[in-house]
Structure 1
Amino acid sequence: MRLMQLIYTSRPFGFGPEALDDILMSARRHNRANGITGALICRADLFVQLLEGPRSAVTRTFGRILQDDRHLDVALLHADDLETRLFPGWDMRDDPPRSWMWSLAEVRAGAAREATAASVRAIFARLAQEVAEPVRG
């Protein structure tokens, strides 16, 4: 089975703790059923999400995201074959932005639009190295 890694950005519509919880619960349930793992980094005005898993499942999931009215201005940053998952134990890891990630001012100035695929993959690789307990369910 060929694995794929996909990273995209979007702007959340109607962002708040309840909306984020709903997105995470839905993503975890869907991802577990489809063999997808990944991580979601969010700020009040930006989502950056990494999905990894079987190519067909990741492609279908991204298609659903494109149709989801909770995501605006969806932009694909990276899609490629994958040898090893970065987040093998995570249906969907959710982490607050770290001080070493883009600041809110950088996000508002367009950091996500100007980011290279390699720089965003490096953010997720660093996040994957941080110790945290997987959330399943």
Structure 2
Amino acid sequence: MDLKQIIYSSQPFGYDNAILSGILLDARRCNNRDGITGALVCRHDVFLQLLEGPADVVDAAFGRIARDDRHVNITQRASGPIDARMFGNWDMLHDPAKSWLWSIEDIANGTLDRASAADVQAVFATLQAKVNATPDP
């Protein structure tokens, strides 16, 4: 099976716990159905999400996300084939920016816009290491 990974960022529109819960519920339901796994690092000013799974369903999921009005300024940060999943046990891991590398000021000053694909992948490698150091979900 050809696996693909997409990492994108966006800005939450009307961010609150109810909207975040809805996003996570939708993501977990659809991802479970479609064989997608991943992680969402989120804060009131930014979402950074990694999706991984069969290429066709990851592309379709990203298309649905791009049309979702709960966030704006969706920007693909990295995309490509992968050999193995990083978050294979998670329909959608939620990290409330505890593993985040950039401050609110950094994001406001465009740090994410200057970040390379390797920089955003490093955020998820850090998160993966933290998850692997804790018990199963």
CA shift at 1:98, angstroms?
2.7
Deviations 1:75-95 (A, max 9, x none): 011110010111010000001
Tell me how large the CA RMSD over aligned residues is: 1.3
**Structure 2 match to 1:110:** 110
TM-score, with length taken from structure 2: 0.94
CA shift at 1:96, angstroms?
1.8
**Structure 2 match to 1:6:** 6
**Structure 2 match to 1:17:** 17
CA shift at 1:55, angstroms?
0.2
**Separation in 2 of the partners of 1:11 and 1:76?**
13
Gaps of 5+ in 2: none
TM-score, with length taken from structure 1: 0.94
1:97 and 2:90 equivalent?
no
**Structure 2 match to 1:119:** 119
Identical columns (%): 46
Gaps of 5+ in 1: none
**Separation in 2 of the partners of 1:100 and 1:63?**
25
